[in-house]
């Protein structure tokens, strides 16, 4: 059982939690045990996993004593509330929230980009923001060949980023509008169906929302490059589940389009989708449920001799969240990076 791991999922009923369980199953994660944790409100409900009905337990001080890895996707406040208990119990928390991402003692990891950052964890590893992961996957392979100087990105973010309830709300709103009724907005401040709006996270004094600052700051941290310049405009669009991004890259020297295409054709976790004859490129409907980030429309930036333009779509819940978290867990197991308690099992 030395390679088997005791896992707890904190927040198992949400959109990301559901996907975490699916991935633990389909990727045959070496589970010694699986514990589903949630607030007392949902405790007692059951979730089917590998043919067995698992009962959701209310999280408490003793929940983590027999756990090696906690996959947390219950939001920042829940992660902050339980992190000390988790770490003191000897488990590693792989946290989907933004609570610890910019903490200098917490590695922020995309396994295809900076796996070695995991070596120095102190019990907490942060899973990056979804748009940042998808962007990083597409541009890191290019950055390795010739450093990117500047990134200007505009996002097209689906409802799933705001959770399962927001996805339902988008559908309910669309039906209301089709029936010529007034759409109701609860998860979002404004109706999203047949509409779009700037990402509604808090704005800083420079006018950037949190989502945009995550793309800027997290990209620098994951790339371990404080010099890379990033600007972002984050927009919520009436798509259910996959995010898209229009990415403008500036290099120090010209970067041949053909070279970029060759690099991305074989990059891990990336699928090049470019059928120029049929005007067929990455679309959310194709990225949904896929592990890979779909990248295409790689072309010379006509406004800058050292620029490239590209377009990407990726499943926000999968590589943008749950898949990346499970990959981090796999990395910990493979490289014996569980904490002493776990190693001693």
Considering only 93-101, 123-131, 190-198, 316-324, which stretch makes contact with a second copy by CB under 8 A?
A: 190-198
Is 199 an annotated catalytic residue? no
Is 209 an annotated catalytic residue? no
Of residues 105, 190, 289, 343, which one binds a second copy by CB under 8 A? Answer: 190
The answer to whether 80 contacts a second copy (rule: CB under 8 A) is: no
* Residue 266 exposed, middle or buried by CB count within 10 Å (0-12, 13-18, 19+): exposed
Look up residue 321 and give its DSSP letter: I
Please identify, using beta-carbon distances, which residue of 10 and 222 lies nearer to a second copy: 222
Pair 21, 54: CB distance under 8 Å: no
The answer to whether 197 contacts a second copy (rule: CB under 8 A) is: yes
User: How far is Cα 81 from Cα 88, in angstroms, rounded to an integer?
Assistant: 13
Rounded to 10°, the helix 130-145/257-265 angle is: 120
Considering only 1-9, 22-30, 307-315, 330-338, which stretch makes contact with a second copy by CB under 8 A?
A: 307-315
Site string for a second copy, 251-280 (x = CB under 8 A): ------x------------------x-xxx
DSSP assignment of 267-324: -TTEEE--BTTTTB---HHHHTT-SSEEEEEEEE-TT-TTEEEEEEEEETTIIIIIHH
The answer to whether 301 contacts a second copy (rule: CB under 8 A) is: yes
Q: Which residue has the tokens 């950055």?
A: 143
List the beta bridge partners of residue 295.
Answer: 272, 312
Just list the catalytic residues: 130, 243
Which residues of this protein are in contact with a second copy, per CB under 8 A?
Answer: 150-152, 154, 156, 170-171, 174-175, 178, 189-191, 193-198, 200, 202-203, 206-209, 216, 229-231, 233, 235, 237-240, 244, 246, 248, 257, 276, 278-281, 283-285, 297-304, 307, 309, 311
């Amino acid at each position: 059982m030395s390679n088997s791991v005791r896992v707890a999922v904190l927040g198992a009923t949400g959109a990301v939690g559901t996907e975490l369980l699916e991935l633990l199953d389909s990727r045959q994660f070496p589970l010694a045990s699986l514990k589903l944790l949630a607030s007392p409100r949902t405790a007692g409900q059951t979730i089917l996993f590998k043919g067995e009905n698992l009962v959701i337990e209310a999280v408490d001080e003793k929940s983590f004593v027999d756990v090696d890895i906690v996959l947390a996707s219950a939001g920042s406040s829940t992660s902050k509330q339980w992190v000390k208990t988790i770490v003191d119990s000897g488990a590693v928390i792989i946290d989907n929230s933004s609570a610890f991402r910019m903490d200098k003692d917490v590695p922020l990891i995309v396994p295809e980009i900076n796996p070695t950052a995991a070596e120095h964890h102190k019990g907490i590893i942060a899973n990056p923001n979804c748009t940042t992961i998808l962007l990083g996957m597409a541009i890191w392979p290019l950055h390795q060949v010739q450093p990117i100087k500047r990134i200007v990105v505009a996002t097209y973010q689906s409802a799933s980023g705001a959770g399962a309830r927001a996805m339902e709300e988008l559908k309910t709103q669309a039906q209301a509008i089709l029936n010529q009724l007034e759409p109701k907005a609860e998860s979002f401040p404004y109706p999203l169906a047949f509409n779009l709006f700037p990402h509604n996270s808090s704005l800083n004094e420079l006018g950037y929302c949190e989502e945009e600052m995550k793309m800027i700051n997290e990209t620098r941290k994951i790339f371990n490059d404080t010099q890379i310049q990033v600007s972002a405009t984050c927009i919520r669009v009436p798509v259910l589940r996959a995010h898209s991004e229009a990415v403008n890259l500036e290099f120090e020297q010209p970067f041949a389009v053909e070279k970029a295409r060759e690099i991305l054709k074989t990059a891990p976790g990336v699928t090049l989708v470019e059928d120029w004859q049929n005007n067929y490129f990455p679309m959310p409907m194709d990225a949904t449920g896929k592990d890979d980030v779909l990248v295409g429309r790689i072309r010379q930036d006509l406004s800058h001799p050292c620029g490239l333009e590209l377009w990407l779509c990726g499943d926000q819940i999968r590589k943008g969240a749950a898949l990346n978290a499970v990959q981090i867990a796999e990395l910990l197991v493979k490289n014996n990076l569980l904490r002493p308690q776990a190693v001693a099992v």
